[in-house]
Amino acid sequence: DAGVTQSPTHLIKTRGQQVTLRCSPKSGHDTVSWYQQALGQGPQFIFQYYEEEERQRGNFPDRFSGHQFPNYSSELNVNALLLGDSALYLCASSLGPTRGGTEAFFGQGTRLTVV
């Protein structure tokens, strides 16, 4: 049973560029959440996708956008990259609300470095 998989594992981008990160949820899960984890801090919630729609959003600017596909996989897009966007980006999958989802399982993360 495959867990949550993310790609790529590492990425280096230049300030001002755009980046797309990808996530495949754990088998059977239909909800995907994205988190940003700066060095030495706990993960911060970016947004959550369920039924191909953004269900909830954290305190992140519109430069951060996402998408969920019919197969439940998801993408996180960040435009106009800033140096401060350098972080570990984590994807978490869970069961939807109608299926009693209370646990989130995380992928290994994508380490984004903006130079």
Partner 1 sequence: TQLLEQSPQFLSIQEGENLTVYCNSSSVFSSLQWYRQEPGEGPVLLVTVVTGGEVKKLKRLTFQFGDARKDSSLHITAAQPGDTGLYLCAGMASGTYKYIFGTGTRLKVLA
Nearer to partner 1, 38 or 80 (CB): 38
Q: What are phi and psi of 71, to 5 degrees?
A: -85, 10
Q: Does 113 bind partner 1 (CB under 8 A)?
A: no
Q: Name the residue among 2, 5, 8, 4 with its Cα closest to residue 113.
A: 8
DSSP 3-state percent helix, strand, coil across the chain (nearest 5)? 5, 50, 45
Q: What gap in Å lies between CA 31 and CA 29, rounded to an integer?
A: 6
Binding segment for partner 1 (CB under 8 A), chosen from 13-21, 61-69, 76-84, 105-113, is 105-113
Mask for 13-32, x = binds partner 1 (CB under 8 A): ------------------x-
β-pair partners for 6: 23
CB of 112 to partner 1, least distance (A): 13
Q: Does 95 bind partner 1 (CB under 8 A)?
A: no
Beta 53-57 vs 44-50: how paired, if at all?
A: antiparallel
Binding segment for partner 1 (CB under 8 A), chosen from 14-22, 64-72, 78-86, 98-106, is 98-106
Residue count, binding to partner 1 (CB under 8 A): 29
Within 63-92, the residues that bind partner 1 by CB under 8 A are: 88, 90, 92
